[in-house]
Amino acid sequence: MFMGRYKTDSLFEAEEAERGECNHIIRVAFESAADTEFDYLVPDRYWPIGVGQRVEAPFGRANKLEAGFCIEADVPFEKSFAARGKGRKLKIVSNVIDKEPLLDAELMALARWISGYYVCPLGQVLAAMVPGAVKKRAGVKTEKRVYLTNYQLPITNHQLPVTKLRGKKQKQIVEYLKQNKAFDSESALELQGLLAELGCTNASVKKLAEKQVIKIAQKTILKSLPAIPAGMSIKTDTVVLNEDQQKAMAHFNAEIDSGLFGVTLLYGVTDSGKTELYIRAIETVLQKGKSAIVLLPEIALTAQTVQRFSSRLKKIAVMHSSLTAAQRNVQWQKIRNSEADVVIGARSAVFAPLSNLGLVVVDEEHEPSFKQDTAPRYNARDVAIKRAQLSNAHCILGSATPSLETLFNSRSKKHFSLVRLPKRVMNLAFPEMKLVDLRDEFHTQEGISLISEPLAEHLENVLAKGEQAILLLNRRGYSNFVFCPSCRYTLHCRNCDVTLTFHKLPLRGSGRMRTVTGKHIDYGFAVCHYCGAQTLVPQKCPLCGAGFAMIGFGSQRLEAEVTRKFPQARLSRVDSDSMAGRDYYRVLKDFSEGRIDILAGTQMLAKGLHFPNVTLVGIISADTCLYLPDFRANERTFQLISHVAGRAGRSVKKGVVFVQTFLPNQPAIQFALKNDFDGFIKEELKHRRACNLPPFWRLAGLIMRDRNFDKLQAACNAMRETVDNIIRRDNLKITVRGPMPAVISRIQQFHRMQIIIQAPQAETMQRLFAGLRASLRRVRPVVKVAVDIDPVNLL
Ligand code: ADP
Ligand code: ZN
């Protein structure tokens, strides 16, 4: 090809190229965060390489081998030359990692969109789209298998040269292989099993192989590992849709039939039958030979929800964080090989390698956990919409409390429609909401008691009737301040600008601590919820010697108080400290079968649980979100109250919800008590409009961090200047605030500052960041910079 022509320019570094053994160029995006793509020559023995396949290639000045994705195959030489500039030599791919592409054209297009929209290097996006377990080939094993050579059928006739075989063991092996008809690599028997069965050693097998009586073959296999725990029984009576559901279903069917992209906001109160509709919409899509993805927040991916889908849909794959690496790989391969046509999972399931996608469902679309908090900082809900668009699929966003962004879109955007389910199925009454003003509550000696008198009274009745209760306290640990009342010293994290939370036991490891004198201490650990640092809490204040006080509260303290006040009740604490995934399934099973009376814990409890015998829900502190310095604090508070409340009274038994608060007049709490989402929205939108906040304007954050504060400050000022220059140059309508210290001004010894950017339209924001990206490629910033487009919080 071109080799002859360009050889004399010595454009190629390696011998192979000069010998003319490389006839193709590919473009590679590296998994490390380089925001540039590079061209490489491919040795002919590796050709063909496809888009979406990974290669290893020398990178940077040191030519360190790095993995990267092929993003363009067979780049014309002239194009590559033009992109590279004169004098830049092509390097050579050193290795091909994957036998086949990991991503198809549609996912590649999605990756490019994410890279552009979320301002993240393409290689980093691609790396995030394929689970680590798949890249590591977790659970893939090579097995040795054995079979008899030269023994053709029919078996009855052939003579075993048994006489030639020495030793009983060898004869036994041959006889065994013969009995099991292991005559070729297909019918070969697994070696380890055979040895165990016959009680012989590898040596006999080896000898037989040397004599060429048997042959040993390697086979790579992927263990089949179930990802859906069995156990909980789910009733799957045939349900007759009510009128609202029928209307909604007709809408979905029409959308799916159209074969065109569209988004529907399914705005239906808790228990209005949304999940039932998801399942039916999926069935419609499957009948058309297409596939579907269901995204749920991680904490809603309980066995209950997954089993509800798996009991109705056959070829289902699951992707969430409590799977082992091997299970994750199995699930992914299943999807890739079209053995699954429905994928249900958390955030990253939006990248499931399904072909022929017809429907994407995002349940609880308002959940902040759909936003990834490391690069690429994508929101899975918004990626889901984009993916649906790329494959002409329909997208259903479901919620009882939709995000203001989605509500706004559904009223104003072309491809969006809104469908409402205003009633609970079977017309179940909404639970009765009771406010408890904690300011009126009697303060006990050890500070405020977590369970107010009215709540305690009601809980006692509920327990007496053999019904169940859920108590929610949205904070882990025992108390969130360790404070000396006499000198006002507070324990702070040495790495981060936050107070430490008191935990009764260390987060990792178990058992009680022993002091040097051998006495068990009932004290505990101060833990930083940001960096994980933990220290033993001193018995006395190191400054003045007085005893510490625990202020504020967490789920451990709730557990202690319930145990003390209701010693007869069977209680289980549910938070991310006490529950690994599998324990959680077990607890839910025990609760559903009545072996536990009270579940007490964090927001893990707020989602997706369906227990008809729960008649009481206590929200211990409705204010926890309200103190956060975030413009979505009201929205979060409303959502939390209404979702937990939805756990009560899911049957004919009447439910009661106690909402305890120090801020009873807060609009978010008042509207939640009245179950008036529309009223809340109206009020909240007024504020958002007045302050140019989402959903009216777009928001982005630049978070910069460094250990050296002066250096950070200088870099932030320079960044601000760059931003201002682009705004001036392109005449953009954009508001910039900062640099200012981030709300948490130090994490893991890094000082943090932020610049906040507001733009009236997404396009304007995109233009600013396109300009900024180009300029950051030219002048690399000296501190770490994180770009957060559409942030879900500003901490
Ligand atoms: P959501 O997802 O809105 O909370 P679900 O779909 O989980 O609501 O429905 C709540 C419960 O009501 C489930 O047990 C479901 O099987 C049942 N259900 C749904 N639709 C109907 C219906 N039309 N008639 C009777 N039961 C229904
Ligand atoms: Zn810390």
Q: Is the pLDDT of residue 766 over 80?
A: yes
Binned at pLDDT 50, 70 and 90, residue 112 comes out as: very high
How far apart are alpha carbons 521 and 513 in whole angstroms? 6
Q: Which ligand is nearest to the CA of 281?
A: 1
Task: Tell which one of 237, 244, 271 to mutate to probe ligand 1, the residue whose CB is within 8 A of the most ligand atoms.
Answer: 271
Residue whose CB lies within 8 A of the most ligand 1 atoms, among 311, 425, 609, for a mutation test? 425
**Rounded mean pLDDT of 598-624?**
80
Nearest to 26 by CA among 87, 56, 70: 70
Smallest CA separation from ligand 1 atom 18, residue: 273
CA of 523 to the centre of ligand 2 (A): 20
| Residue 403 pLDDT greater than 80, yes or no | yes
Least confident of 57-71, 182-196, 277-291: 182-196
Rounded distance between C-alpha atoms, residue 328 and residue 319, angstroms:
7
Residue 747 CA: which ligand is closest?
A: 2
Pocket of ligand 1 (CB under 6 A): 239-242, 245, 268, 270-276, 425-426
**Ligand 1 binding pocket mutation candidate from 235, 276, 366, 426 (most atoms within 8 A of CB):** 276
**Tens of pLDDT, residues 614-630:** 889 999 888 776 666 67
Measure 746 CA to ligand 2 centroid, in angstroms: 8
pLDDT of residue 507: 46
Higher pLDDT, 459 or 164: 459
What are the pLDDT digits (tens) for 204-220? 888 888 887 888 877 77
User: Is residue 714 very low, low, confident or very high in pLDDT (cuts 50, 70, 90)?
Assistant: very high
pLDDT value for 704: 94
CB contact at 8 A, 98 and 353: no
Q: Which ligand is nearest to the CA of 239?
A: 1
- Which helix or strand (DSSP H or E) is residue 68 part of? strand 64-72
pLDDT-based confidence at 156, cuts 50/70/90?
Answer: very low
What is the distance between the alpha carbons of residues 607 and 625, in angstroms, rounded to a whole number?
17
Q: Atom 6 (ligand 1): residue with closest C-alpha?
A: 273
Ligand number nearest to the C-alpha of 420: 1
Structure confidence at residue 160 (pLDDT): 52
pLDDT band for position 546 (cuts 50, 70, 90): confident
Alpha-carbon span 202 to 721, nearest angstrom: 72
Statement: residue 758 has pLDDT above 80 = yes
Q: At what angle do helices 122-129 and 105-117 cross, to 10 degrees?
A: 130
| pLDDT at residue 695, rounded to an integer | 92
Average pLDDT, integer, range 494-502: 75
Using one digit for the tens of pLDDT, what is the confidence trace for 54-64? 999 998 888 89
Q: Tell whether the model's pLDDT for residue 3 goes beyond 60.
A: no
- Maximum C-alpha span of the chain: 97
Beta strands at 95-96 and 525-527: parallel, antiparallel or unpaired: unpaired
Cβ(453)–Cβ(441) below 8 Å: yes
Span 328-340, average pLDDT: 92
Question: Is pLDDT at 782 greater than 80 in this prediction?
Answer: yes
Atom of ligand 1 nearest to the CA of 400: 3
Q: Which atom of ligand 1 is nearest to the CA of 421?
A: 3
Q: Of 304-313, 319-328, 698-707, which has the strongest mean pLDDT?
A: 698-707
Query: Which helix or strand (DSSP H or E) is residue 53 part of?
Result: none
Tell me the pLDDT band of 35, cut-offs 50, 70 and 90.
Answer: confident
Q: Give the chain's mean pLDDT.
A: 83
Banded pLDDT at 13 (limits 50, 70, 90): low
**Residue 409 falls in which region: left (phi positive, over 0), alpha (psi -120 to 50) or beta:** alpha
CA distances 5 to 8, 13, 15, 18, 144, Å, are 7, 16, 16, 11, 50
Whether pTM > 0.85 for this model: the answer is: no
Beginning with the edge strand found earlier in the chain, give each strand of the sheet holding 735-747 in spatial order: 735-747, 750-759, 698-706, 784-789
Mean predicted confidence (pLDDT) in 171-177: 83
User: What average pLDDT score do residues 542-570 get?
Assistant: 79
pLDDT band at residue 508, thresholds of 50, 70 and 90?
very low
Model pLDDT for residues 477-496, shown as the tens digit of each residue? 666 667 776 677 777 877 77
272 C-alpha to ligand 1 centroid (Å): 6
pLDDT band at 518 (very low <50, low <70, confident <90, very high): very low
Q: Are 271 and 428 in contact (CB under 8 A)?
A: yes
Tell me the ligand closest to 294's alpha carbon: 1
Structure tokens at 293: 């993805």
Give the range with max mean pLDDT: 265-274, 282-291, 426-435, 629-638: 282-291
Asked whether the predicted pLDDT for residue 524 surpasses 90, the reply is no
Site to substitute for ligand 1 among 275, 427, 428, most atoms within 8 A of C-beta: 275
Lowest mean pLDDT among 269-273, 507-511, 713-717: 507-511
- Determine phi and psi for 86, rounding to 5 degrees: -70, 145
Atom number, ligand 1, closest to the C-alpha of residue 363 = 2
Ion ligand 2, residues whose Cβ is below 5 A away:
493, 495-496, 528, 530-531, 533
What is the SS3 assignment for 502?
strand
Nearest CA to ligand 1 atom 5: 273
